[in-house]
Chains A and B, each alone.
Chain A
Amino acid sequence: MPTPLVVSEVAKSFTMHLRDGIQLPVVENVTFAVAAGECAVLGGPSGIGKSSILKMLYGNYGVDAGQILITHDQVTVDIASADPRTVLALRRDVIGYVSQFLRTVPRVAAVDVVAEPLVARGVSHDEARARAVELLEKLNLPERLWSLPPATFSGGEQQRVNIARGFITDHPLLLLDEPTASLDAANSAVVVELIRAKKVAGVALLGIFHDNDVRAEIADRIIDVSGFRVTRDAA
C-alpha cells in the first residue's frame, strides 16, 4: 500500500508587510511520512510550528518550498502546488481536519454541522444526520444541544462538535490539532477510542497532543518539530 502522506523538505515563513516587511521564519526542511494505520504525533514546545505544519497540509497556509504529497486511489497530488479546486476535492474525499476551534456558522444546528461533510460527499441528509447523532451520543453531547447552533456552546461542547465533524467521514488521512485540549478525562477517553478505531480502519493520522496521557495511548511515533526549526538568522 502506498504511503498516504509524504512531506518533503517543506519550508514556511511569513512576511509581515505591515511591520516593515520583516520575515518570520517558521520551519524549514520538514521531512516525514505517515503510513496507513499509523498515528504520528508532532512534538515540541508551543510556538515551534506544529499547527503551521498541519495548516500547510490542509492548504490553509501556503508553502514556500518543498512538497506535500497526498496519495489516494493511486493518484498522488502535491498539495503545496495544487490549485484551489484540487485542494477542495482532497478535503472532501481524502483529508479530514479537526481544528483547535470550531468555526461556527450562524443558525446551523450542531447535528447539521457534524453531518455536513457526509452530505458534501453525497450521503442523504437523513442518513448523515443519523450518523451525526450516533457520534454526538458517543461523545456525550447532551441531546438538547443537537438542534442548536454551537455558537453559544461551551469550549468543550464546541470541541466535541468539531471532533464529531472530523471523524464522521472515512477520510484516509486525518489531521488533529489538539482535539482533546478542552475535554475532561471521560471525553478524552472517547476520543482515544475513536482514534484507535481509525487506526484499525487503516487511516493515517497526524496530530498535536499536549496531554501526555492521551499521547501515550495513541502515538506510534513522535515527530520532533524542533528539528525543523530555522537555524540560520533571519535577515
Chain B
Amino acid sequence: MSDHPLLRVNAITKYYGSRVGCTDVSFNLWPGEVLAIVGESGSGKTTLLNAISTNLMPTSGTVEYRMRDGQFRDLYRMGEAERRFLMRTDWGFVHQNPADGLRMTVSAGANVGERLMAIGNRHYGNIRQEATQWLGRVEIDADRIDDQPRDFSGGMRQRLQIARNLVTGPRLVFMDEPTGGLDVSVQARLLDLVRGLVNDLGLSAIVVTHDLAVARLLSHRMMVMKEGKVIEHGLTDRVLDDPREPYTQLLVSSILQV
C-alpha cells in the first residue's frame, strides 16, 4: 500500500451566485481506494465531483493530484493543455448518460481507439486489436466493433463508455451515477464488471450515487452529503450499518428490502 494519497482535496467550495453548491469539502483519496459520495438530488454530489475533476471551477479550495513522477500538482494551476492531457490519459470520467461520454456517431472501436491515439498510438492494427480486447472485457461482442453506439442498448453504451475510459490505463476514474437509468439486471451486470475491473486494475475511483446498494458494493469509504456539506464520512460498512447523523439514518432506513 502506498504511503501517499493520489488526490488531496482541500476545502473545496462552490457557489452558484449566492446559492451553495458545496462547501468546505476536504479529503484524501488513496491509491486503489473507491470513495462513494451519496446524498439525495441537489445535495451537491455532482457539483463536488465536477469541481474535483476540473470540469467546474470551484469558488475556493485546492485539488492536488500526485502525478506519475510522484510530485503533487495543483490542478487549477496547471496549464490547460497539460490538464486536458491528464484527463485524456491518467483519468477517466464515466457520465450517467453515456451520450455525454461517447461520440455517438463514430464506431464503438473508434470510441475506444480515440483515447489510445491521444496517448500516441498510431498503428491501426494495434489500436483495433486493443479496442477489440477491451470490448471483450466489457462483454460486448467483437462483431459489434464497427457499429455506432447509437445502435446500442443503454447497458451496452454504458459498458462501452467504461471501456473507452479504461483503455489508457488511468489511475483515477470519476463516475457520476454509473448505473442510473439502467434496469436492475443490467445494473447488476455493470456493477459486477466495474467491481472486477477496479479490483484487477487497482484503480482509484470516486463514485457519485444516490443508490446505497451501489455504494456498498463498490466503495471502501463513503461520504454523505446534504445541502452542500459532508455530514458523515467513514468506512462504507460503518456508515451503512451504524449511521450516526439523522439524515444518514433516514437514508439507510429508506432502503427498500426485496
- Asked if A85 contacts B245 (CB within 8 A), the reply is no
Give min CB distance, B139 to chain A, whole Å. 11
- Does chain A have a CB within 8 A of B237? yes
Give the dominant DSSP class at B's interface: helix
How far, in angstroms, from A15 to B232 measured CA to CA in the complex? 15
- Asked if B192 contacts A84 (CB within 8 A), the reply is no
- Asked if A15 contacts B244 (CB within 8 A), the reply is yes
Which of A18, A61, A107, A120 is B242 in contact with, Cβ under 8 Å? A61
A17 touching B238 in the complex, CB below 8 Å, given contacts A88-B220, A105-B217, A107-B188: no
- Asked if B241 contacts A17 (CB within 8 A), the reply is no
- Asked if A60 contacts B221 (CB within 8 A), the reply is no
- Asked if A18 contacts B249 (CB within 8 A), the reply is yes
- Name A60-79 residues within 8 Å CB distance of B: 60-62
Which of A16, A55, A107 is B249 in contact with, Cβ under 8 Å? A16
Using Cβ atoms and an 8 Å threshold, which residues of chain A touch B253? Answer: 18
A88 touching B244 in the complex, CB below 8 Å, given contacts A106-B192, A107-B188, A108-B192: no
Using Cβ atoms and an 8 Å threshold, which residues of chain B touch A59? Answer: 235, 237-238
| Count of residues in B whose CB is under 8 Å from the partner chain | 24
- Name A94-121 residues within 8 Å CB distance of B: 105-108, 119-120
Using Cβ atoms and an 8 Å threshold, which residues of chain A touch B234? Answer: 62, 84
- Asked if A89 contacts B250 (CB within 8 A), the reply is no
- Asked if A85 contacts B241 (CB within 8 A), the reply is no
- Does chain A have a CB within 8 A of B255? no
Using Cβ atoms and an 8 Å threshold, which residues of chain A touch B78? Answer: none
Using Cβ atoms and an 8 Å threshold, which residues of chain B touch A58? Answer: 237
- Name B30-80 residues within 8 Å CB distance of A: 30, 33
Give min CB distance, B28 to chain A, whole Å. 9
How far, in angstroms, from A48 to B82 measured CA to CA in the complex? 59
CB nearest neighbor in B for A17: B246
A17 touching B30 in the complex, CB below 8 Å, given contacts A84-B234, A107-B189: no
Using Cβ atoms and an 8 Å threshold, which residues of chain B touch A106? Answer: 188-189, 191-192
How far, in angstroms, from A224 to B148 measured CA to CA in the complex? 66
CB nearest neighbor in A for B247: A17
Q: Which A residues lie at the B interface, using CB under 8 A?
A: 14-18, 55, 58-62, 84-85, 87-89, 105-108, 119-120
Given A55-B241, A107-B192, 15 other A-B contacts at CB below 8 A?
A: A17-B245, A17-B246, A18-B249, A55-B242, A59-B237, A59-B238, A60-B238, A61-B241, A62-B238, A62-B242, A62-B244, A85-B1, A85-B221, A87-B235, A119-B199
